[in-house]
Amino acid sequence: DTAVSQTPKYLVTQMGNDKSIKCEQNLGHDTMYWYKQDSKKFLKIMFSYNNKELIINETVPNRFSPKSPDKAHLNLHINSLELGDSAVYFCASSQEGGRARTYNEQFFGPGTRLTVL
């Protein structure tokens, strides 16, 4: 029944490791996003996909690579993890947030708390 789900909820790992976070939405939306929320609670968009096409790619290190196998899924792979990557990562989805340039409510997932030691 969950609208936007993410796995895992918590991720603790060592510096230099590679990890992935998965996101799925069952709302039938065509646009999905990844946000990073730092320790000061600041929410910043990282990527956006519309119908599996990369639409927004903010200034994010290329160690971060999103992948959208289909409209309902958007995964985030992070290579060579650094201490500064520690944050909560939120996935979100909306309808027609992509090339249509219309704006509708973004539904957020529960977040993945990543801790890099």
Partner 1 sequence: GENVEQHPSTLSVQEGDSAVIKCTYSDSASNYFPWYKQELGKRPQLIIDIRSNVGEKKDQRIAVTLNKTAKHFSLHITETQPEDSAVYFCAAGGTSYGKLTFGQGTILTVHP
Question: Per residue in 6-18, is it b (16+ CB within 10 Å) or e — as a string?
Answer: beeeebebeeeee
Does 90 engage in binding with partner 1 (CB under 8 A)?
yes
CA nearest neighbour of 1 among 37, 20, 27, 30: 27
111 belongs to the binding site for partner 1 (CB under 8 A):
yes
Euclidean distance between CA atoms 38 and 48, whole angstroms: 19
Task: For partner 1, give the closer residue by CB, 75 or 106.
Answer: 106
User: Which of 40, 70 has the CB closer to partner 1?
Assistant: 40
The answer to whether 97 contacts partner 1 (rule: CB under 8 A) is yes
Binding residues for partner 1 (CB under 8 A): 31, 33, 40-45, 48, 50, 55-56, 90, 94, 96-99, 101, 103, 105-106, 108-111
